[in-house]
Amino acid sequence: MQRLAFKMKLNPDQKEVYKKRHNELWPDLKQLLRDNGVSEYSIFFDEETHTLFAFQKISGKGGSQDLANNEIVKKWWDFMADIMEVNPDNSPVSMPLEEVFYMP
């Protein structure tokens, strides 16, 4: 089991919209993530910097960040593009984070 972490940036005043959209996560997207080895996925929000911190437990070689060519994922990116920093293809601007400590 691997642990992955990355950060993204939410636009100001979009926390409640972001939470609502994720509370209503599409069942086909949730299943896609599970089918690709994502067993846990948490996202935390830093109110001061509007930074989203994401954490995933995955089995296999990749997590959600490796599903860029999937149509469901592309549709989700389009749906989320109005409330967060995105790249030209509407994927979230995302920076992987290095694990420097782990206590099992």
Tokens of 74: 């592309």
- Tell which residue, 47, 58, 48, has the closest CA to residue 96: 58
φ and ψ of 18, to 5 deg: -60, -45
Catalytic residue among 22, 40, 89, 99: 22
50 in active site: no
What are the structure tokens assigned to 8, written together?
A: 């993204």
- Residue numbers annotated as active site: 22
